[in-house]
Chain A
Amino acid sequence: MPKMLQLPLRSRQQWASIALQAALVVVIGGLAYGAFINAADNLAKAHIASGFRFWDNTAGFDISQTLIGYSPSTSTFGRAFWVGLLNTLLVASLGIVLATALGFTVGIARLSRNWLVARLAGGYVELIRNVPLLLQILFWYNAVLKSLPDLHSSISISGGAFLNNRGLFLPRPEFADKFDYVAAALVFGIVATLAVRIWARRRQERTGQPPRTLSFAFGLIVVLPLLVFFAAGAPLSFSFPDMGRFNIRGGTEILPEFAALLVALTIYTAAFIAEVVRAGILAVSQGQTEAAQALGLRSGSTLRLVVVPQAMRVIVPPLTSQYLNLIKNSSLAVAIGYPDLVQVFAGSVLNITGQAVEVIAITMAVYLFLSLVTSLLMNLYGRTVGIVER
């Protein structure tokens, strides 16, 4: 009897809440639609071109760093968009990897019992996170540029590389067709190693004996591809950078704008990640460590098996925020001329086409999309380290 009384009541509440939410969605949708119609109307009234026809028009401007083929004479604005987006992704993804590595190192160092190490890490965090990122980017850019020699007194690095204020010029590997076999061998080696690891873990769970897999992994990932490499007749050559009248020709070039932005983003974000990591480790109660030691675990195993897995639960959500910040902060590239999405698309393309509404809308949508994907991936990862309720 009480059940029957409860059900209609709860479902009435549910219906009310669904209706309310539906109304909200309709209102927001209506507002968005209204804004869209209003903008189209305003643009038409003001004789301003609108729509996305510009996407297929020839861009006509040059871009200093292109990861995909791009030529000012034939490529379109759409192509320029992808060039800019890839440049953003390149600096953001490398930045995330490097900032994570540096951040974890500094965060752990700050908890070190070594007085000097802990103070150095603390000083780093306090100095870096309290200076605006834009200033740091300009500092690195000008520091990099001004301290490096000009073209004609380039620093020559052994192995055929050059360093000057135009960038770092490295030999570019040129892969012959047969190099595919080497790549295939490498992929096989990695997959096989993973399979061996899974087998080893199962065996350890069954028997308690941890099998040694390191030499297997070395053989599969290093020795096997090397053997294939030589069997295929060493199908790899290098194109070396060569001094021209104005610039260095050939080889691969790392632009100073890219280097400055990457260094600044890494160092800045690492300071915040260090604090996140420190907080995460401190959040694991001391009793956990003591319990692990009482069970006879060594200190390395204690950290790896007991402390870090629990700390990760605390670390992952704020770490996600730092990744999102890094992705969005990469748009500060405009200050130093690194051709990221904002510089190329919301800069040159916006200007040449004059279609501010479309270009800004696309740019915002891209950052939103990148952030949501990052959040999603981090949430999935967070679930794997989260508490498993049994």
Chain B
Amino acid sequence: MQRLATAFAIAMVLAFGAQAASAQTLKAVQDRGQLVCGGNGTLAGFGMPDPQGNWVGFDVDFCRAIAAAIFNDTKKVKFVPLTTANRFTALQSGEIDLLARNTTWTMSRDTTLGLDFAGVTYYDGQGFMVRKSLNVKSALELSDAAVCVQQGTTTELNLADYFRANRMSLKTVTFATANEAVRAYDTGRCDAYTTDASGLYGERLRLTDPNAHIVLPEIISKEPLAPVVRQGDDTWEDLVRWTHEAMLNAEELGITQQNVDDMLKSNSPDVRRLLGAEGQFGQSIGLTNDWAYRIIKAVGNYGESFERNVGQGSPLKIARGLNALWTKGGLQYGLPVR
């Protein structure tokens, strides 16, 4: 109901409000002294408050990196928890500056929502989780199974597509939030729960007995997760895109949170350009030239953020896989800073 109320409020803003000048996001953020970031709020590893109430996660780190680039202070971020239902409207209406909420980049979203996606921060794919006791080895055996899913996601659509393509019959039980879908799966309402593979690992930890469940090997879709900004503010989109690229470049160049100060003395032209010792790259996106130094100092490089939140340093223990650097067989490829 709260969801509907939010959607209603936003619709009213669209109907009666004057659209804020869209090309001024960076200035608005600087004047406000705070970045407002739309996040998940319930997804372990990506965006969720810890027991002390501080938001942590992979998407959260991305927002903190931008705050570090702008304010040199990772605390100057306000996180707004959003559901799949209100995430795009919240961004469209200007309630948030940036959406970093495990959101899949698709053509229809890119072209009809008045939004732009700024670089793939995580290559994901949809998978299934089932009870071990069912003795299912493959998703292709799931014909007739009841599957719990969260509504309004690409997941919901891929699920129907996959069962149709493989001529299997499907019983979907659709819930408004991931919390409700997982709880229903846990009580036995469904045989399988489906979402992005990264989410499956996170949600499995919340089940009554995580060891009684397995994630099936099939990945049935491409889910490139990307931060989203409003269309028409190219400066802001550049800033968001290059924050991700800076973190990737830092990993490629071996710059870490620990050694970034030493790296300032490096002779490598790539390192010097990235850290602002050479060139005017920071100024070209409206910041100071040490923008990337501040990001790395505060949040670390891409790999550090990955391992800390979802990889070996976290309870999720997700392998880098597609998200390894291109030099190590993955898809993450830092665009050149030059």
Contacts and interface: CB of A to CB of B under 8 A. Distances in A.
B174 interface: yes
Interface string A221-236: 0000000000000000
A142 B184 CA distance: 9
Interface in B273-301: none
A142 B176 CA distance: 16
A309 to B, nearest CB: 39
Contacts of B109: 354
Interface in A44-69: 45-49, 60-64
Contact of A244 (B1, B14, B144): B144
Interface string B1-40: 1011001101100111111001000000000000000000
B221 interface: no
Contacts of B304: none
Contact of B84 (A244, A337, A351, A360): A351
Contacts, number: 162
A181 B259 CA distance: 87
Interface string B201-221: 000000000000000000000
17 contacts: A35-B16, A42-B17, A45-B22, A47-B114, A61-B156, A62-B156, A62-B170, A63-B174, A150-B188, A337-B184, A339-B174, A348-B151, A348-B152, A354-B108, A357-B14, A360-B8, A360-B11
Nearest to B106: A352
Contacts of B143: 246
Given A146-B187, A353-B112, 14 more contacts: A39-B15, A45-B22, A46-B92, A46-B231, A60-B160, A62-B170, A64-B171, A134-B1, A165-B187, A245-B144, A246-B143, A335-B1, A351-B84, A356-B14
A147 B224 CA distance: 40
B11 A35 contact: no
A246 B191 contact: yes
Contacts of B181: 337
Nearest to A334: B176
B257 interface: no
Residue among B146, B157, B173, B230 with max Cβ neighbours from chain A (10 Å): B173
Nearest to B191: A246
Closest 10 CB pairs of A and B: A351-B152, A48-B114, A49-B112, A62-B172, A72-B160, A47-B114, A46-B114, A39-B15, A246-B145, A337-B175
A343 interface: yes
B1 A331 contact: yes
B160 A62 contact: yes
Interface of B: 1, 3-4, 7-8, 10-11, 14-19, 22, 84-85, 88-89, 92, 108-109, 112-114, 134, 142-146, 151-153, 156-157, 159-161, 164, 170-176, 180-181, 184, 187-189, 191, 230-232
Nearest to B231: A47
A39 B16 CA distance: 7
A361 interface: yes
A346 B83 CA distance: 13
Contacts of B156: 61-62, 348, 352
A332 interface: yes
Given A244-B144, A337-B173, A343-B174, A48 B113 contact: yes
Nearest to A363: B4
Nearest to A57: B108
A61 B145 CA distance: 16
A142 B157 contact: no
A370 to B, nearest CB: 16
Residue among A63, A336, A339, A352 with max Cβ neighbours from chain B (10 Å): A352
Contacts of B160: 60-62, 72-73
Contacts of A43: 14, 114
A343 B176 contact: yes
A357 B159 contact: no
Interface in A346-390: 346-348, 350-354, 356-357, 360-361, 364
Contact of B89 (A47, A61, A343, A356): A356
A194 B132 CA distance: 61
Contacts of B1: 134, 331-332, 334-335
Contact of A145 (B7, B159, B189): B189
B90 to A, nearest CB: 10
Given A35-B15, A48-B112, A350 B152 contact: yes
Given A246-B191, A354-B113, A348 B7 contact: no
Interface string A251-276: 00000110000000000000000000
B157 A352 contact: yes
Contacts of B18: 38, 42
A150 B134 CA distance: 12
Contacts of A150: 188
Contact of A337 (B89, B134, B171, B174): B174
A151 to B, nearest CB: 8
Interface in A67-114: 72-73
B144 A246 contact: yes
B268 to A, nearest CB: 41
A354 B88 contact: yes
B231 to A, nearest CB: 5
A49 B142 contact: no
Nearest to B147: A62
A348 B157 CA distance: 10
Nearest to A42: B19
A342 interface: yes
A240 B146 CA distance: 19
Nearest to B89: A356
Contacts of B191: 246-247
Contacts of B15: 35-36, 38-39, 42, 357
A278 interface: no
B85 A347 contact: yes
B78 to A, nearest CB: 22
Contacts of A334: 1, 3-4, 176
A31 to B, nearest CB: 9
A142 B146 CA distance: 17
